Every structure is written in structure tokens, then in C-alpha cells.
Structure 1
Amino acid sequence: MSDLFYLQDSRSNVGSRAMFWREGGGYTSNLDEAEQFKRESAVKQYECRETDLPWPVDYVRARAEVGVDCQYLTRSEAEAYRNEDGRVYVAYAREWDGNDLVWRGGKGPTANLEDAIHPGAADAAGYLAQGFELWPCGYIVERSRPVVLAALLDHKQALRSVGLKLPKPKRPRSHRHSDRLNCDGCGRFLSDRQRFEDCPNCGARNAP
């Protein structure tokens, strides 16, 4: 088991997919593009910003599925693709999980390419007539990448699997009295709101 970690930006997902720090900057749902950190570096970043969650690479990879980002597909390229065996993936038109295509699966709609049906040329026309989009299998496989559903990730379980206990994030000290002033009449503390009213103790006026 490796001692490498991804850093998840836990503030938001893209569709159902978790987002991780991309190598070179930015964020990505593509695990092949996600930067891998050594344990110490991952923990230090968490201490700086607690929304950057460290996840063991092996834990995340074991729960990965295959997604296809529609941003990297073009119809002209697909039509020009040499589709040797005539098999196609069947996608729902105008349906996405984040940016990922949603496929006709054996048990219903799925964004996991591994669960998608891929009929031969003889059956493809029937799906086209039903309003589905057809994509050559080879073309799609070349543009697929590993992703992971955020809902499948259990942070406590993941950290236990590698014996990591994160430190509690350092929180700034509270400055509870930083917005308080002294009454000009009696010297008692006043809140910022009270300064615009007569002092509740001596009745002095403190408004600027």
C-alpha cells in the first residue's frame, strides 16, 4: 500500500464526482490528473485549510469508476473515427452528471462507462430511432478517465485504513470584546449597537 494522498476540495463537486487538486494547479475530477502528495505535505495543507481533505490514493482508486467528459468530445471526430467492430455506446441526449455523459446501462441510466451497454451495428439503429446518441466504443474509451463518486468516500474509514489521525485545525482566537467601547459617562463597556443609544447604566449619550 502506498503512502500517497490526494487532496479533495470538499467545498463542491462536479455532479456526483469529487474534485481534487490538479497537478500544476486548479482542480479536476480526473484521478489521472490529480496531484499525489506525501503524507506530511497533505496533512500540512489540511492544517492550513480544513476544506482540503487528504485521501489515501489506494482508497480512492479502489472506488473509482469510468466517466467521459462531454467537453472533450466532438461529433465530427466521432464520425471520422475508424470504428473497426461497429460497436457503439448509447448515451441519453442532453443528460449529464456534471460534465459526464449519462449512458444507457443494463439496469438503467448510468454515468459509469463500465456499466454502459455497447450494442453492435445491427442494433444501433433502433436506439438512434429512440432519440439516443451513439458514440463509437473505441473513440469513447480513448477519452474516458477514472473518477470517483463523492458519496462513496468515507473520510474516517479512509484515514483509519492508513492509520492517520488529522490534527484539529487551528482556529483564530475569538475577539469578543473588539467591537466594544467605553461609555463617556460611567466607563462601562458598550457594544457597537449600544453606542448609538443612551448608556443603559448612566444614561449618557455616546453616539458619534
Structure 2
Amino acid sequence: MKRIFIFITIFCFYNAKAQTDIHLTDIIKNIESQSKIDSLKFLYPNLTIKKHTLSTGDKNINKKVFLLKDKEIMADSVDAIKLLSRKDIKEFKVKYIFINGKNLSEKEIKKIQKNANKELKKGKTFSEVANKYSMDPGSKDGDLGWFPEGRMIKSFENAIREHKKGEIFQVSDQTRNWYFIILKNHTERDAKIYEYITITKS
């Protein structure tokens, strides 16, 4: 019984040491898919492995990815980063009033649209009207901030492309029963979107 206990203790010690001594570069270099990430999470519970898709305008992007070339890896004793892909995109910035028509009648939707447009024509700022009528509590003053192409529904982004800075216009998505009044307050800008993986030791 004592020998079994000693064997288990030694096994646990060497297993823990192996977990500590893993070379992060060796682990990350073959990661390409989410299934691979999931299997590595199981094998190395002391590692935090995450996949990110962020643009240059996103404040949460890891600044180290800017130093990486395509398919390159950066690693040290603390963490490792692997760049999976990088491509040129456009970013948009608008303010909007979101009307969720899911639980509203057509008459109620049109009334909100009419009242919001009426107040805008009377000279109220878009921020004031958005704070009053928008059903998106997460966007203060109706401001969505900069966002990369492909994040919003297609009709929303297409309408932004078709209008000039300073124009106010409406977009609707009948399948979702979503309605938007949009102010294009910035011209779209060039950006890059990065898909990358990070590994951090716990």
C-alpha cells in the first residue's frame, strides 16, 4: 500500500512538472481549428487558450499581433500568440435608433418612426432622439462606435455604403422585425481584421 502511495505521488509530481515545462511554441504551432483548441484545453488544464477575431480599431486587440507576419508565432515564458489570418477590410461608424418590432404592431412601429423623425426635423440632436426612442440599451446616444464590415446584417452595411456622411436614413429587416434610423456620422475607413490564438499560463 505504501509503495502504491509513493508511486502515485511521484507520478503526480512529474505530471505537474511536465505541465509547467511545456513549450508554448510547440503547442500553438499546430493549432488551426476550434476542435484542436478544445482538445488542447483538455490536455493542458493549466493553460488558457483563446481564439480571437478582432480589427485594428478594437480596443481589446492584443497589440502584439501587429508585430506578427502571416502565420507567425510569438512566444515567451508568459504567453504565446499565433496569427491565423489577416485581411484588409472597411470599418464603419454610425449612430442609430433601433426599434425591435417583435412585440409591436405595424401601427406602433410607424408611430415611433414618425415621432423620432419629427423630433429630428425640429432640431433635436440625434443623440437626444436615440436616447429617447432606441431599444438598444447598450449604445449610449445611439453610438455604435467603429465596427468592421461583416459584423452587422447585410442590408444595414449596404445602406451605410450607399449614403454620405451626415445623411439620415432608414433600414428595415423584415425577417427579424428590426427597424433602424441611422445617422452616418463618419466616412468609412480602411482597417485590418486579425484572427489569432493566444495561450496564457494560469
Q: Same fold (TM over 0.5)?
A: no
TM-score (norm 2): 0.28
Higher relative contact order (CA 8 A, sep 6+): 2
User: Which structure carries more helix by proportion?
Assistant: 2
More strand by share: 2
Structure exhibiting the larger radius of gyration computed from Cα positions? 1
